[in-house]
Amino acid sequence: MPDSATPALEWRGVSRTFGDVQAVEDVSVAVAGGSFTALVGASGSGKSTLLKIVNRLVEPDSGKVFVHGQDTSDMPRSVLRRRIGYVFQQIGLFPHMDAGQNIGIGARLSGNRLPPERIAELLELVELDPQMAARMPQEFSGGQQQRIGVARALANEPEILLMDEPFGALDPLTRDALGRRVRALHERLGLTSVMVTHDMAEALLLADRVLVMDAGRIEADETPASLLAGRGGAIAQAMVAVPREQAKRLSAVRE
């Protein structure tokens, strides 16, 4: 039975190569239930692969993933994916399906149908008008589309929400607002969330814990406060320096 001492999610000695590329190398991390973790790193550092291994979009070469102490390699993929909501990079809505059908796709794939009232409830959860269920994806802005992506990920009432660069394609204002909304939803629904981002400022502002990846390995595992106090090593500090330098340069701008 799950209990609060068992991590909600754990990678244990997980590795994966693609040809000559070591995408993920011997990663062991345990994520506490109810926490919001950011996975930060340069392009190609292995963040997406680490996330995809959780719901078995990618299988590891070695190592295992546990959800509430249960070995995921023993679970049918459909059962695993019902317990884990996944927000894809580049939104990934089906263009020929309306918003409601996109939100209900997980249920449909497992032979069920989400009732219209549940679709309306999910749209309201991400602060969209329930009347919008019949609109096609291209009739929404990028930020609204990504909110539909979040509603879709939450449709099965998952315990864990994985987000792969969810705000990557959005303008900074929308990105900031949506980040706050997602953090508020995380609290309200009692989720365990892991979010991949390139953006250290976003990670520092939204997460309880920041994992820094480099060349397939976790190079730092710190709280935002600890990173801002200078800990986590050279790679993490080089990433923290970017928003800090920008803030300094902005505060030096005079009329």
Give the binding site for ligand ATP (CB under 6 A). 18, 21, 23, 41, 43-49, 198
Residue closer to ligand ATP by CB (options 159, 214) is 214
Residue closer to ligand ATP by CB (options 36, 88) is 88
Sign of CA dihedral 24, 88, 81, 155: positive
CA distance 234 to 250: 24
Which residues are CB-neighbours of 170 under 8 A, at least 6 positions away? Answer: 142, 143, 146, 178
The minimum distance between CB 60 and ligand ATP, in angstroms, equals 12
The minimum distance between CB 41 and ligand ATP, in angstroms, equals 5
The minimum distance between CB 197 and ligand ATP, in angstroms, equals 9
Residue closer to ligand ATP by CB (options 134, 238) is 238
Nearest-5° angle of CA 222, CA 228, CA 232? 40
Determine contact, residues 73/54, Cβ cutoff 8 Å.
Answer: no
**CA 47 to each of CA 24, 60, 197, 214: distance values in angstroms, whole numbers, following the listed order:** 8, 14, 8, 9
The minimum distance between CB 90 and ligand ATP, in angstroms, equals 10
Residue closer to ligand ATP by CB (options 10, 165) is 165
Pick the closest to residue 176 from 167, 188, 185, 164 (CA basis): 167
**CA 199 to each of CA 29, 41, 68, 165, 175: distance values in angstroms, whole numbers, following the listed order:** 21, 8, 29, 9, 11
The minimum distance between CB 56 and ligand ATP, in angstroms, equals 14
Residue closer to ligand ATP by CB (options 120, 239) is 239
CA distance 137 to 51: 25
The minimum distance between CB 102 and ligand ATP, in angstroms, equals 23
Residue closer to ligand ATP by CB (options 127, 221) is 221
